Amino acid sequence: MPTATAISLSILFLLSLTTTIHAHNITRILAKHPEFSTFNHYLTITHLANEINRRQTITVCAVDNAAMSDLLSKGLSIQTIKNVLSLHVFADYFGSKKLHQVTKGSTSTATMYQATGEAPGTAGYVHITDVKGGKVRFTPEDNLSQTDSVYVKSILEMPYNISVIQISSILQSPEAEAPTAAPDLNLTSLLDRDGCQSFHNLLTTSGAIGTFLSSVEAGVTVFCPDDDAITAFAPKYKNLTAAEKTSLLLYHGIPVYNSMGMLRSSNGLMNTLATEGAKKKYDFTVQNDGNDVKLKTKVVTATVTGTVVDDEPIAIYTLDKVLQPRELFKGAVEEADEPAPAPKGAKKKKKAAKKGDEAEEDAEAPGPGSDEDYSDDDAADQTASSGERVVAMVSVVVMAVFDSGYHGSPTRVAHAGIEFSFYFLFLIYDLKIFILFYLS
């Protein structure tokens, strides 16, 4: 098999794998341990699970169901429980070994409670002490008299990404347990703040507001095109049918909460409130450009210009343009909303890529002008980075090992499956080359 083909195939095959390898899912990790089901449940309903999943280096101190019922018996609000549990998530990796070898027998670590900005002073820190006899004790900075919370066991270690351990009891921090104001969940009044009023009017007159309101509980992110953007878009908006208007407006909402930090650390496709399965994708790409967060549809690129509210479960940001989904504005491509359309050469090249050759697309350097993507192919296909190339090469080696005939019985079925996938992809790939060759 030619090496170039093998590498391209491996990229195709491994793109899906690499994404799953990197992400951890605390809900799934804890689901295997019923003794932590209450803790797990509260991580979900306080949205801390999402926060944990997107962190790279983290330690989660779980407590069992008995310890959780001690906490719940205090009758704290969900918001307060969230503060208490966020004190149980350290912004650093502590595996069992590291815990038993803390420098000079004691260290202090910042927690997610610290990161929220809710913690006054040093209340968001936890002391880790290696007590004589191999015990490791955890003490909240604002309750140094607590001695009953100690390391029990390791639940999962993925050095140095995530460590999940069990500790014997809840960390009792008076600051974390202090009553906190619940976030304002009145989306109607939040949307009336500066920057969103024109968009809010459209939501109200079209009736699309209902979908936004019913999404609040599970978390929602709203992108409000600012008043100027709405005015500039008015002629196009008028031309849409009522159903299309609704879809366009729903396209400006995401059915999950995204903090500014989350937007900055995520590049890729996002589904919206307008998304209905594969036929009506209504998705767009989030792309970070320095400090700017850009939202790219196939038709237009908008920039996030400000934050109206960012308080879980609601985030509202302003945009400099109305997002135009390709589902409604497919023919609008030539209109080139953008100030700097791609040079003719680059556009031609895109057309060639559009015929479907992944290898050619991969080779396409992101030169000036190719920034804007008017082509129809999936943005996710264009993310082959140098890291993935390394992975691809590794996989070529792996293939070589497979081909040299490893027949360990437990992997035999997987082996056959992988080989089949490769041959199948190989077939498709060759077909594409043939078609491309024939057309040119």
Ligand X SMILES: *[C@@H]1O[C@H](CO)[C@@H](O)[C@H](O)[C@H]1NC(C)=O
Chain positions 19 to 38 lying near ligand X, rule: CB under 6 A, are 21-22, 25, 27-28, 31
Task: Name the helix (H) or strand (E) containing 72.
Answer: helix 65-72
- Give min distance, CB of 201 to ligand X, in A: 14
Structure-token pair, residue 63: 């407590």
305 is a site residue for ligand X (CB under 6 A)? no
266 is a site residue for ligand X (CB under 6 A)? no
53 is a site residue for ligand X (CB under 6 A)? yes
Structure-token pair, residue 8: 């391209």
- Give min distance, CB of 319 to ligand X, in A: 19
d(CA 121, CA 89): 18
80 is a site residue for ligand X (CB under 6 A)? no
- Give min distance, CB of 160 to ligand X, in A: 7
Q: Which of 231, 239, 265, 303 binds ligand X (CB under 6 A)?
A: 239
Reference 152, options 125, 134, 126; nearest CA is 134
146 is a site residue for ligand X (CB under 6 A)? yes
Contact 372, 342 (CB under 8 A): yes
140/350 with CB nearer ligand X: 140
29/274 with CB nearer ligand X: 29
Residue with tokens 């610290």: 114
271 is a site residue for ligand X (CB under 6 A)? no
228/419 with CB nearer ligand X: 228
CA dihedral of residues 108, 58, 98, 165 (deg, nearest 10): 100
Residue 242, burial from CB neighbour count under 10 angstroms (0-12, 13-18, 19+): exposed
Structure-token pair, residue 19: 């994404």
335/430 with CB nearer ligand X: 335
Contacts of 206 (CB under 8 A, 6+ apart): 242, 245, 246, 249
145 is a site residue for ligand X (CB under 6 A)? yes
50/114 with CB nearer ligand X: 50
- Give min distance, CB of 320 to ligand X, in A: 19
430 is a site residue for ligand X (CB under 6 A)? no
- Give min distance, CB of 143 to ligand X, in A: 4
Chain positions 170 to 199 lying near ligand X, rule: CB under 6 A, are 172, 174, 186, 188-189
Q: Which residues on neighbouring strands pair with residue 59, listed in sequence order?
A: 90, 163
Cα–Cα distances in angstroms (integers) from residue 272 to residues 37, 197, 281, in the given order: 31, 21, 8
Q: What is the DSSP letter of 440?
A: -
Give me the residues that bind ligand X (CB under 6 A), please.
Answer: 21-22, 25, 27-28, 31, 53, 143, 145-148, 158, 161, 172, 174, 186, 188-189, 235-236, 239
